[in-house]
Amino acid sequence: MPSVVTLKSRMRRMIQWMNSDLAYRFIAIGRTTPWSDGENNPPYPDERQTEIEELIGLQRLDSYQYAKVIENPTTLQKRTGVYYKGLYYSVTDDQTIAINEGYTSIMCRVTLDRDTIDAIPVNVTFRQVGLYVGVNATPDEIQYGITAEQWNNKTEADKGTLEVIDNRNPLSRNDSQQESIYILLDF
């Protein structure tokens, strides 16, 4: 019989991540070159990868919340939940609710807006998203984001750790729109 990680263990690791001092957490976007197997067939990310390919820039997370899949969501739950990769998620900042209701994931979000983002240019297409934790950043980088040039000038220690990589179909930034990018950490 296969072994299984218990619900309580998964919840403990989720809470540990939420409460840990990981300096700053940033979502990075990159990869401007088309995928070789076709644009609608991005390759599975390489777990040994330590940097985002063709980095465009990084933006500090707007939020990270406890998350749980909503099974058979109602119309209201579909409107109020977060839709991510074909599923709806209930999210909360309340650790007590997360524990009592068996949450085992964290939903991370960054919003890219032409009026507030200096580090990530508009009119660019990207295909890769990553979550960096433990980034040492200046006050300006925290507020405005980190450009590729600023990132390349950081020491390896200041870059923290690339914790999650997500290869996607092409996404285009426009100066007439706002994008919310989500990454899910499942414990």
- Asked if residue 175 lies in contact with residue 122, where contact means CB atoms within 8 angstroms, the answer is yes
Q: Is residue 34 part of a domain?
A: yes
Whole domain around residue 165: which residue ranges? 7-186
Q: Band the pLDDT of 112: cuts 50, 70, 90.
A: confident
Q: What is the pLDDT of residue 182?
A: 95
Considering the domain boundaries, does residue 119 fall inside one? yes
Integer angstrom CA distances of residue 35 from 77, 91, 155: 35, 32, 29
Banded pLDDT at 154 (limits 50, 70, 90): very high
Better pLDDT: 22 or 88: 88
> Rounded to an integer, what distance in angstroms lies between the CA atom of residue 119 and that of residue 150?
9
Check pLDDT > 70 for residue 162: yes
Evaluate whether 135 touches 26 at the Cβ level (below 8 Å): yes
- pLDDT above 90 for 118: no
The pair of structure tokens assigned to 67 is: 């998350």
Q: Which residues contact 175 (CB under 8 A, 6 or more apart)?
A: 114, 122, 123
Stated pTM of the model: 0.89
Residue 117 is predicted with a pLDDT of 66
Round to whole Å and give the CA distance between 180 and 187: 23
Q: Does residue 1 form part of some domain? A: no
pLDDT of residue 32: 94
Residue 2 within a domain: no
Give the total number of structural domains in the chain. 1
User: At 80, which CATH number?
Assistant: 2.60.340
CA atoms within 13 A on the CB side of 100: 5
Q: How confident is the model at residue 158 (pLDDT cuts 50, 70, 90)?
A: very high
